[in-house]
Amino acid sequence: MNRATRDGKILRGGVLTVVLAAIVLPILGGLWETGRAGFGVLPAIGATELSLAPWRALATMPGIATSLRLSLTTGLGATALSLLLAVGFCAAVHGRMSRRSSGRMLTPFLAAPHAALAIGLLFLISPSGWIARALAPLAGWDRPPMLTTGNDPWGLALILGLMVKEVPFLLLVILSALSQIPVRAHLTAGRSLGYGRGLVWIKVIMPQVWPLIRLPVMVVLAYSLSVVDMALILGPSNPPTLAVMLLRLFSAPDITQILPASAGALLQGVGVALCFVGILALERLGRVIGLWWIRRGGRGVSAEPGLLLATGLTMLLMALGTLAMASLLVWSLAWRWPWPMLLPDSWSLRAWGTPGTGWARALTTTIVLALASTAAALVLAIAWLEGEDRARSARARWAEALIYLPLLVPQIAFLYGLNVVFLRIGLSGGLVAVIWAQALFVFPYVMIALSDPWRALDPRLARVAGSLGAGPWRRLFAVKLPVLLTPLLTAAAIGVAVSVAQYLPTLFMGAGRIATLTTEAVTLSSSSDRRITGVYATLQAGLPFAAYAAAFMIPALVHRNRRALSGEAAG
């Protein structure tokens, strides 16, 4: 073993130690403290003996069964429908749209925070929203209709909101997976055997894609089952979904409610784990059924109508998402907007002209948290990837699991316990605690976004630099990082978007004293002043867009001279 490889293994071991100490152990510690409280042990309130009383109290709470059912139906329904639409859309448009153009099309939806999109969608589908205003002349409505569109008791609005966010994410994941498969060759071979495009995708391509997207689908499922901010804005209110009910119990004035809330948090975690087991079981069942179906043939069956339906519904979701984001800005500038006009009768900057009401301070805090958590995550990701390069070893499965762990465990299941851990070490309630908690969720996305571009970097660049006498650190800072400027800035933009969207980590770790655009927007979403709500939600959505714009513009400015020189050389 040469010195460089040995140093690489030392670096990789150090990074893994930091990941374990800063990410894995806090999650495990949070689960442990939540588990203790869930079984009756909370010395701070005098509960020192193991007991099932919290579970009995949880079981007798009014509406608990309905809350659990709502969580399952909205989470499973949104994930299943989103996956079907994403697969159908990819099958219909693959080969007709470049990966770069599709990535640019999806970027606005990926950048938009969940809460901002939910608020915009509520403005859109409410009885006095744009859709009702557009239908008013046709339906003869002289006033907003008495319809329950948002916060409906079935959770349909929540499912719609989740799908608007999840379909673009799954599209990006599937498109990335398809780049590793010879799709054109499979389509050509399948079509030559008499199968339609849709059946080739179902029988040949998707069985190869599924193992590559299994973990991201589980991440989507875990989020959908335990979402809080979107459920507060779009979901049922009485009773709410399980995660929202648990948040209310954790925040109740009666501190003894923490015990049944902790039991419910464990129930939430177990429910998500059982859904993961169900996915794996369905995967095995699908393998058996799929083999039987392939051997059976069935060339005459056509899936084309399904592909067209999936494409149409996907485009409709994207249109709703676009209108939802536009409605935020319109409402923040509206002054007089009588029914049923599609646009305000008069406009005003009054809602924007009073930063002293709180949005300026919330904006500053949000920027500080986003920059700090993203910087920490980016440094850790670069160190991890550089350690892999120097050690000349591929990433193990257990290491991949460490990256995805914060995204697979429901936030409500361990954030209360993590707050207890932070209280014991004197961190809770401050910016440091919130930055740490947000970095738990920023790091996985930064790591995932940066891994593929890092691995695709031509190794000959570092070898040439090494042959000229450059050491490993100089090769990193003078060769790798400048070449990877665009992926680095893109990963940073994703980190900023993830940080801005964090609601529960800010609420729990900040002890209600750290006000960000997200926490304020969620609180204001139920208020009667849509103008102020629109200001907060517009700012919340604008920060990730600004980060993505910087990620595209900075490399263009840095490399503008290189492009000019290459153009002169070509001429």
**HSE on the CB side for 19, CA within 13 Å?**
29
CATH code for the structural domain at 1-40+359-571: 1.10.3720.10
Q: In degrees, to the nearest 5, what angle opens at C-alpha 94 toward C-alphas 88 and 95?
A: 160
CA distance 267 to 59: 11
Q: What are phi and psi of 531, to 5 degrees?
A: -65, -50
Query: Is the distance from CB of 462 to CB of 479 less than 8 angstroms?
Result: yes
Q: What is the pLDDT of residue 184?
A: 85
Residues 6+ apart with CB under 8 A from 479: 461, 462, 465, 470
The tokens for 19 are 């990941």
CA distances from 331 to 114, 116, 344, 524 (A): 18, 13, 8, 14
The tokens for 401 are 């699991």
Tokens 């050389």 map to which residue? 569
Q: How confident is the model at residue 410 (pLDDT cuts 50, 70, 90)?
A: very high
Q: What does the pLDDT average to over 37-65?
A: 92
Domain borders along the chain are: 1-40+359-571, 69-350
- pLDDT tens digits for range 386-400: 888 887 777 777 788
Residue 334 is given by DSSP the state: E
Q: Nearest-CA neighbor of 198 among 299, 296, 290, 78?
A: 299
Q: How confident is the model at residue 567 (pLDDT cuts 50, 70, 90)?
A: very low
The tokens for 133 are 């205003």
Q: How confident is the model at residue 3 (pLDDT cuts 50, 70, 90)?
A: low
Q: What are phi and psi of 323, to 5 degrees?
A: -65, -35
Sign of CA dihedral 443, 264, 266, 170: negative
53-57, 264-268, 390-394: range with lowest mean pLDDT = 390-394
Q: What is the pLDDT of residue 472?
A: 81
- pLDDT tens digits for range 217-231: 999 999 999 999 999
CA distance 538 to 519: 14
Residues 6+ apart with CB under 8 A from 268: 71, 225, 226, 242, 243, 246, 410, 412, 413
For residue 91, pLDDT over 50 is answered with yes
For residue 172, pLDDT over 80 is answered with yes
Strand, helix or coil at 350?
A: coil
Between residues 466 and 174, the one the model is more confident about: 174
Query: Is the distance from CB of 440 to CB of 485 less than 8 angstroms?
Result: no
Q: How confident is the model at residue 2 (pLDDT cuts 50, 70, 90)?
A: low
The tokens for 505 are 């980590």
Check if 1-40+359-571 and 69-350 are the same fold.
yes
Q: What does the pLDDT average to over 341-345?
A: 90
Query: Is the distance from CB of 420 to CB of 508 less than 8 angstroms?
Result: no
Tokens 């923490």 map to which residue? 258
Q: How confident is the model at residue 192 (pLDDT cuts 50, 70, 90)?
A: confident
Q: Nearest-CA neighbor of 113 among 503, 549, 375, 433?
A: 503
Q: Nearest-CA neighbor of 129 among 219, 234, 2, 32?
A: 234
Query: Is the distance from CB of 421 to CB of 29 less than 8 angstroms?
Result: yes
- pLDDT tens digits for range 490-500: 999 999 999 99
312-344 burial string, b = 16+ CB within 10 Å, else e?
Answer: ebbeebbebbebbbebbbbbbbbeebeebeeee
| C-alpha of 442 from chain center | 10
For residue 182, pLDDT over 50 is answered with yes
Residues 6+ apart with CB under 8 A from 547: 111, 370, 492, 493, 496, 497
Q: How confident is the model at residue 7 (pLDDT cuts 50, 70, 90)?
A: low
**Mean pLDDT rounded to a whole number for the chain:** 88
CA distance 303 to 292: 18
Q: What is the pLDDT of residue 79?
A: 96
Q: How confident is the model at residue 98 (pLDDT cuts 50, 70, 90)?
A: low
Residues 6+ apart with CB under 8 A from 420: 30, 33, 37
Q: What is the pLDDT of residue 566?
A: 46
Specify whether the backbone of 334 is left (phi greater than 0), alpha (psi in -120 to 50) or beta.
Answer: beta
Q: What is the pLDDT of residue 220?
A: 95
Q: What is the pLDDT of residue 104?
A: 72
| C-alpha of 183 from chain center | 27
For residue 124, pLDDT over 50 is answered with yes
Class of domain 69-350: mainly alpha
Residues 6+ apart with CB under 8 A from 299: 193, 194, 195, 199
Instruction: Give the 3-state DSSP-derived string for 461-521, with helices as H, strands as E and coil as C.
Output: HHHHHHHCCCCHHHHHHHHHHHHCHHHHHHHHHHHHHHHHHCCHHHHHHCCCCCCCHHHHH
Cross-strand partners of 334 = 347
Instruction: Give the 3-state DSSP-derived string for 234-263, with helices as H, strands as E and coil as C.
Output: HCCCCCCCHHHHHHHHHCCCCHHHHHHHHH
- pLDDT tens digits for range 502-550: 999 999 998 888 999 999 999 888 876 888 899 999 999 999 999 999 9
CA distances from 384 to 27, 401, 552 (A): 20, 14, 25
The tokens for 357 are 């009401």
Residues 6+ apart with CB under 8 A from 148: none
- Percent pLDDT > 70 in the chain is 93
